[in-house]
Amino acid sequence: MKTALETNDSSQMLIDERRRHILSLVQSQGRVLVGELSRTLGISQITIRKDLEHLQSRGLIQRTHGGALRMQSGALFDPSLQEKQKQHSQEKQRIADEAAKMVQEGQCVMLDSGTTTTAVAHALKRYSQLTLITNAVNIAAELTNTNFEVILIGGTLRKNSFSLVGPLAEDVLNEMHADILFLGVDGFDVETGITTPNFLESRVNRAMVKAARRVVVVCDSTKFNRRSLSRIVPTSAIHCVITDKNIPREAEDALRSQNVELILV
């Protein structure tokens, strides 16, 4: 028969194992939801919330309403394009396919740098004739085997994101006009707007918004309820958002209340 001490030790081991499992899910998926964890682990939502609060107290995750996000190293966190490509690839592909449906043959399309917009560029290859404006070197290279007219704006190369930024990039964009802009973001707080960790990148993105007739944000659901260093534009400057179905409910309601078209894939 186990002693009380042995029982407590065993119970604590199970708790630690469960919390390690939850932490592993957050790190690999970028986000977890209380309801899903409760169902998959067969544990009450109250217990799951306590686990998440414990992990947050240790600085391992970031709690959000209804779940938790992977912990970022503050507003300056700026992962490389290669690191981003490993995250939420299936969601990004669905978002890209939906984005491509919004384009018409012969239009002028503008693409920001990023992994989701790179997926959009690939999806646009179904068209025969487009004019494509981008500040992303890798996206321009992606489209070299098409009949598109590709305009790569000038500027200073940010090696972390393969993007061109700076005054030259902004000046060129001031002379451009596009039918539609697909814009990737690092953070989307509906009250604040869309944000990015790099100040120069935010200025170029802002110039893109001004140059486009229609602005469509393409991002997976983990970007919501996050703020990065520099704001690009407020939510009121956005016409449409394409994201996956795991978007936090409060963010979904807030976007709809501001008459932003929301497409869930």
Each of the 265 residues of the chain gets a pLDDT tens digit; together they read 444 433 444 455 488 889 989 988 888 788 899 999 999 999 999 999 999 988 877 767 878 778 888 765 544 444 544 445 545 678 999 999 999 999 999 999 999 999 999 999 999 999 999 999 999 999 999 999 999 999 999 999 998 789 999 999 999 999 999 999 999 998 999 999 999 888 899 999 999 999 999 999 999 998 998 888 889 999 999 999 999 999 999 999 999 999 999 999 9
Predicted pLDDT of residue 243: 97
Amino acid at 153: I
Measured between alpha carbons, how far is 219 from 26 in angstroms, rounded to an integer?
Answer: 18
Return the structure tokens found at 155: 């500027």
**Is 100 in contact with 126 (CB distance < 8 Å)?**
yes
Measured between alpha carbons, how far is 61 from 30 in angstroms, rounded to an integer?
Answer: 10
Predicted pLDDT of residue 26: 87
Predicted pLDDT of residue 170: 96
Predicted pLDDT of residue 28: 79
Predicted pLDDT of residue 87: 54
Predicted pLDDT of residue 31: 85
Domains of the chain, first to last: 4-70 (1.10.10.10), 81-264 (3.40.50.1360)
Return the structure tokens found at 257: 């209340």
How would DSSP label each residue in 74-139?
STT----HHHHHTSSHHHHHHHHHHHHTT--TT-EEEE-SSHHHHHHHHHGGG-S--EEEESBHHH
Q: Using the 8-state DSSP alphabet, how is residue 174 labeled? A: T
Predicted pLDDT of residue 227: 83
Predicted pLDDT of residue 12: 58
Three-state SS sequence of 85-98: HCCCHHHHHHHHHH
Measured between alpha carbons, how far is 132 from 150 in angstroms, rounded to an integer?
Answer: 5
Predicted pLDDT of residue 72: 58
Measured between alpha carbons, how far is 96 from 98 in angstroms, rounded to an integer?
Answer: 5
Predicted pLDDT of residue 54: 86
Predicted pLDDT of residue 265: 96
Q: pLDDT digits over 143-192, tens only?
A: 999 999 999 999 999 987 899 999 999 999 999 999 999 999 989 999 99
